[in-house]
Amino acid sequence: MAKKLALIGGGSVRTYYFIESLLKFYREMDIGEVAVQDIDPEKLRYFGGIARHLVTRAGEELRVTLTTDAKTALRDADYVVTTVRVGGDSMRVQDERIALSHGVIGQETTGAGGFSYAIRTIPVMLDYMRLIRAYAGPDATVFNFTNPSGLVTQALYDAGYDNIVGICDNATGIKMDVANALAVNASELLVKVYGLNHLSWANRIEIGGVDILPKLMKNDAFVQNFHQFLYFDRDLVRRLNCIPNGYLYYYYHRERALRNLRNAPETRGEFILRNNTSMMEALRQHSVETEPETCLAIYRDFMHRRESSYMAIELGETLHPAQIDPKTLGIDALLGRKPVTEIYEGYAGVVFNYIDSRRNDRNIDLAVSVPNCGAVPGMADDDVLELTCLVGRDGAKPMRFARDEINETNLALMKTIKRYEKLTVEAVLTHSKAAAREALMQHPLVGDDTLAKELVEAYAALNAPWIGAWK
3-state secondary structure 355-398: HHHHHHCCCEEEEEEEECCCCCCCCCCCCEEEEEEEEECCEEEE
Question: Model confidence at 367, in pLDDT bands (50, 70, 90)?
Answer: very high
Based on the fold, state whether residues 154 and 178 are members of the same structural domain.
no
Give 54 or 337, the one with higher predicted confidence: 54
Q: In the prediction, which pLDDT does 172 show?
A: 83
CA distances from 131 to 146, 147, 186, 214, 323 (A): 16, 19, 37, 48, 47
Domain enclosing residue 428, as ranges: 421-467
Cα angle vertex 344, ends 342, 350, to 5°? 85
Averaged over 423-437, what is the pLDDT?
98
The pLDDT assigned to 176 comes to 86
Q: What is the pLDDT of residue 324?
A: 67
Tell me: do 178 and 303 sit in the same domain: no
Q: Are residues 279 and 311 in the same domain?
A: yes
Both 329 and 360 in a single domain?
yes
- Separation between Cα atoms, residue 108 and residue 422, nearest integer Å: 18
Cβ pair 370, 364 in contact under 8 A: no
Are 228 and 348 contained in the same domain?
yes
Q: Please, which residues bridge with residue 8 across strands?
A: 37, 82
Rg (CA), the chain: 22
Q: Which of 34-38, 74-78, 242-246, 335-339 has the lowest mean pLDDT?
A: 335-339
* 118 plus 88 within the same structural domain: yes
* Tens-place pLDDT, residues 84-142: 999 999 999 999 999 999 999 999 999 999 999 999 999 999 999 999 999 999 999 99
User: What is residue 328's predicted lDDT score, i.e. its pLDDT?
Assistant: 67
Q: Do 33 and 70 share a domain, yes or no?
A: yes
* Residues contacting 141, CB < 8 A, separation 6+: 78, 79, 80, 163, 164, 165, 354, 355, 395
Residues 79 and 7 in one domain: yes
**Cβ proximity of 196 and 386 under 8 Å:** yes
Residue 263 and residue 248 share a domain: no
- Pair 160, 175 in one domain: no
Same structural domain, 70 and 117: yes
Give me the mean pLDDT over the 358-367 stretch: 92
Q: What are the CA-CA distances from residue 245 to residues 177, 251, 261, 334, 339 (Å)?
A: 11, 11, 20, 26, 28
Residue 410 belongs to a domain: no
Mean pLDDT value of segment 300-324? 72
Least confident range from 78-92, 176-190, 427-441: namely 176-190
On whether both 230 and 265 belong to a single domain, the answer is no
Of 2, 7, 29, 3, the closest CA to residue 132 belongs to 7
Q: Is 10 part of a structural domain of the chain?
A: yes
Q: Classify residue 412: in a domain, yes or no.
A: no
Are the C-beta atoms of 191 and 185 separated by less than 8 Å?
Answer: no
Greater confidence, 289 or 349?
289
CA atoms of 380 and 387, how far apart (whole Å): 14
Q: What is the pLDDT of residues 335-357, one digit of tens each?
A: 655 554 566 677 888 999 999 99
Domain count for the chain: 4
- The confidence score (pLDDT) of residue 311 equals 64
Residue 416 lies in a domain: no
